[in-house]
Amino acid sequence: MSDARPASSDDGARLIDGQKLSVDGRTLEVRVSTRRSRLGLTVERDGALILRAPSMCPPERAKAFVLANGRWIDGKLRLRAERQPLHPARKLSDGEIHRYLGRDYRLLYVDDPGAPVRLVAGRLRMDRAIAADPARARRALADWYARSGLRWARGRLQPWAARMDVREPRIEVRDVGRRWGTHRPGRIALHWATFQLPFHLVDYVIAHELAHVRVSGHGPDYWRLLRRAMPECGRWKAELDEMGRRVWMGDVSER
């Protein structure tokens, strides 16, 4: 959601990047950018409300904008509640099925102290001593996804960066909470759980974050850039919204 008019300026107070702004019982995080000329609102995957503002924007102007778009915010939050993640807990037991790049692999306990987790002959082989401790087993499997995913993603970064004509940032794979990926100047991070998805959806997450190298926020310019590079982005976003709800995010249940 974006403003139809440039934000006004006067000699009073100004919004500060990173500050929290309270409006009508809502708390929004302010992101100020010199490249913006209008106010904008986004609702993140984790439910956080982000107010994107140009520099020299008075707080009162921003508050009026948020109040005017209260119905839009409520609608987005209702939609998010309807799509609440259903991420299952896993037992990490011998024989359990886990996915990597959309394919199923069976977890197999082995006596192999040299490698906590390895993919060998279609089996995810986990050292039995590590498997005996659910917390260690969870860390070992997440680390395997991170290492394997990073190797795969490095080979997918250049094609999408070239299509968008952006410089390749540094890429890392780690736990980024309930998001699939994040972008910060010079680097992007992908959640290790992303690599359970089919490869075309991992490509979508990579391209989604790369588009932020050029355009912050999710306004019309952002989606035009992403659509030019990836015409299927709308269909893949919908597929990710649905399939992603069922991805294992690291929760472990009792065996």
Confidence of residue 5 (pLDDT cuts 50, 70, 90): low
In a domain, 205, yes or no: yes
Beta strands in the chain (DSSP E): 2-6, 20-23, 26-33, 38-43, 49-54, 97-100, 103-110, 117-120, 123-127, 170-174, 181-184, 187-191
Which of 49, 82, 115 terminates a domain? The answer is 82
17 token code pair: 């990047």
Cα distance between residue 183 and residue 176, in whole Å: 11
Question: Same domain for 46 and 128?
Answer: no
Which tens digit of pLDDT belongs to each residue from 188-210?
999 999 999 999 999 999 999 99
Which of 82, 112, 144 terminates a domain? The answer is 82
Confidence of residue 45 (pLDDT cuts 50, 70, 90): confident
Question: Same domain for 132 and 46?
Answer: no
Question: Same domain for 55 and 116?
Answer: no
Calculate what percentage of the chain has a pLDDT beyond 70. Answer: 93
Which tens digit of pLDDT belongs to each residue from 78-93?
887 766 667 789 999 9
CA-closest candidate to residue 33, choices 2, 60, 63: 2
In a domain, 37, yes or no: yes
Lowest mean pLDDT among 91-100, 111-120, 133-142: 111-120
142 token code pair: 């997440």
pLDDT attached to residue 157: 94
Q: For residue 8, what are the domain limits? A: 2-82
In a domain, 253, yes or no: no
In a domain, 157, yes or no: yes
pLDDT attached to residue 46: 75
Q: Is the pLDDT confidence value at 9 over 50? A: no
Question: Same domain for 104 and 217?
Answer: yes
Q: Total structural domains in the chain?
A: 2
Q: In 13-133, where does DSSP find H-type helix?
A: 59-68, 70-82, 128-131
Question: Same domain for 195 and 141?
Answer: yes
Q: What is the mean pLDDT of the chain?
A: 91
Question: Same domain for 104 and 216?
Answer: yes
- Are 95 and 81 a contacting pair, CB within 8 Å? no
We report the CATH number of the domain holding residue 101 as: 3.30.2010.10
Confidence of residue 4 (pLDDT cuts 50, 70, 90): low
